[in-house]
Structure 1
Amino acid sequence: MMNVIQIICDQKAHTFVLVGFVLGCYLDRKNDEKPTAFQKTNLSRRELRPKKSPGLKGYD
């Protein structure tokens, strides 16, 4: 067990980069699960206008 701790202490820069990457990936995935502020508003829940058929111009 002491050897693992010694290796981590000797390789601080590599350890911090690895821990930062893993923590960043975890927080990014957690953030993606939350709805955004826009999704919570009524704007995202409103009904859209019915679509009109394009028709042919000049052939009415």
Structure 2
Amino acid sequence: MKNRGYSASTNNCLHMSMAVFKGYSEILRKDTRLKSATRWTPNDYYKEVLPAAHWEVSHSM
């Protein structure tokens, strides 16, 4: 992991999380509403992609 390098747009915690979720869940892997994480920052993906895919909307605490 360390040798892969960090990049905000192509290798961040969102990319690794999506790889795990889709790797272990056929349902998520086939869900066309979930856009690729490439070129998304985690916050933008959470605020824009997930609500557009009809996932739970975030609530401020």
Structures share fold, TM-score greater than 0.5: no
Rg larger for: 1
Higher relative contact order (CA 8 A, sep 6+): 2
TM-score, normalised to structure 1, is: 0.27
